[in-house]
Structure 1
Amino acid sequence: MILIVLKAQIRPDKREEWLSGISQYKKDVNSEPGNISFDYHENVEKENEFVIVEVFRDSAAGDAHVKTDHAQKFFDFMGSVVPEKPLINFQSEDGKDAWVEMGEVTPH
Structure 2
Amino acid sequence: MIFIAVKFTARPECADSWLEHTADFTRATRAEEGNLFFDWSRSVEDPNQYVLLEGFRDGDAGAAHVGSDHFKAGLETMSGLIASV
TM-score range, shorter chain: over 0.9
Report the count of equivalent residues.
85
Q: For residues 1-108 of structure 1, what are the structure 2 equivalents within 5 Å?
A: 1-84=1-84, 86=85
**Which structure 1 segments of 5+ residues have no match?**
87-108
Higher relative contact order (CA 8 A, sep 6+): 2
**Letter of the 1:51 counterpart:** V
Where does structure 1 differ by over 4 angstroms across 4 or more consecutive aligned residues? none
What is the DSSP-based 3-state SS (H/G/I as helix, E as strand, rest coil) of the residue aligned with 1:44?
A: coil
**Letter of the 1:21 counterpart:** H
Aligned to 1:101: none
**TM-score of the two chains, using structure 1 as the length reference:** 0.74
Q: Which has the larger radius of gyration?
A: 1
Q: What's the % identity of the aligned pairs? A: 34
Aligned to 1:92: none
What is the DSSP-based 3-state SS (H/G/I as helix, E as strand, rest coil) of the residue aligned with 1:83?
A: strand
**Which structure 2 segments of 5+ residues have no match?**
none
